[in-house]
Amino acid sequence: MHDLGPIQQSDPTMTVELSSARQENVARGIGLRIASAGSFSTMAALLKLAGEQGVVAPEMMFYRALFGLPVVLIWVFATGGVGVLSTQRPLAHLGRTALGILAILCSLQALVMLPLAEAATIGFTMPIFATLLAWLLLRERVGRRRWLAVACGLFGVVIIMRPGGGGGALPLAGVIVGLFAALGTAGVTVALRQMRETEHVATIVFWFFAGSGLVGLALLPLFGSVHDGETMALLAAAGVAGGFMQITMTASLQSAPVSVLAPFDYLQIVGAVVLGWALLSTLPTVNTLAGAIIISGSGLFTAWRERVLQRERVITATPFS
């Protein structure tokens, strides 16, 4: 009786088929990640337009959850059924949701206070804060090259801020809120590293959407107002785009590793620039473009370095036969 492993390795045709399947999965993951980036850019642009009509951050969060949750529910039922919604770690979900709500409120407020391209670019300082939090909370070792990437990313933020630029400088409050959003998102990333060991991804996504919707509903009496049909249409479309973004982003992780997919997230900056020009008649400044290049380079280097370190850990942990 033959073992299937050696048969597969000795059959060139089967080896080619397996290699082709892996390539197709990676290609599918990349395609989904590109769709996710496009959905994010669309959602951000629509919310920015809604902000121009007087919609504030708590309202954006509520309507994003309200119109995005049905899309997420369809995905949840299609992937695992209602049983996926049960959890054995309610407190972990509560903490993750609370941190995520703070992050998304800061992110939406930054979107209100800053131009679209600048808000999107500052959001990509998240890998910088993820490195810092992993060092502080998880006691991960951070080498000199990753510290250099962190420093370069922060330098990119300074360039975008345009200090001393007079009327052309970005509002400091908006930049600080955007950085807090990136910090909160980094905190969520660190929390998810541990939650995903026991929790289904669909469970995490659903309870976050549900929690943010409930908090947004509670905030409506304080911050909400009546909006016209055009504004509500913008919010509805943004919510659907946000739900689709969450699905495609999560599905991409099932087909390809994060290190392969991470570079395609930076298409969000391209989308923000294009949609900012097409819908809002705004173009990024030279400072913004230069800062975006530096921040993107910092994030890409961090992702590449993490991939290298993971390979080294696997080699170290693999026993010799």
Mean pLDDT, range 43-55, rounded to an integer: 94
User: Cα–Cα distance between 255 and 243 in angstroms, integer?
Assistant: 19
> Which pLDDT does position 295 carry in this prediction?
83
CB 41 within 8 A of CB 278: no
81 in Cβ contact with 229 (< 8 Å): no
Separation CA 229–CA 239 (nearest Å): 15
Lowest average pLDDT, out of 13-17, 22-26, 31-35, 282-286, goes to 13-17
Is the pLDDT at 6 greater than 60? The verdict is no
Distance separating alpha carbons of residues 283 and 117, to the nearest angstrom: 8
Task: Say how far apart CA 53 and CA 77 lie, in whole Å.
Answer: 35
Nearest to 153 by CA among 287, 284, 297, 258: 297
Characterize 35-55 residue by residue with b for buried, 16 or more Cβ atoms within 10 angstroms of its Cβ, and e for exposed.
Answer: bbbbbbbbbbbbbbbbbeeeb
Query: Per-residue pLDDT tens for 53-103?
Result: 999 999 999 999 999 999 988 888 887 777 777 877 888 888 888 988 999
Which range has the worst mean pLDDT, 114-123, 135-144, 211-220? 135-144
Calpha distance 157→287 (Å, rounded): 10
- Give the pLDDT mean for 44-61: 94
Kindly report the pTM of this predicted structure.
Answer: 0.78
CA distance 154 to 143: 17
Local confidence band at 21 (pLDDT 50, 70, 90 cut-offs): very low
Examine the pLDDT at 236 and tell me if it is beyond 90.
yes
pLDDT confidence of residue 258: 67
pLDDT at 52: 92
Range with lowest mean pLDDT among 173-187, 259-273, 276-290: 259-273
Q: Supply the mean pLDDT for the chain.
A: 79
Structure-block tokens of residue 84: 């996926």
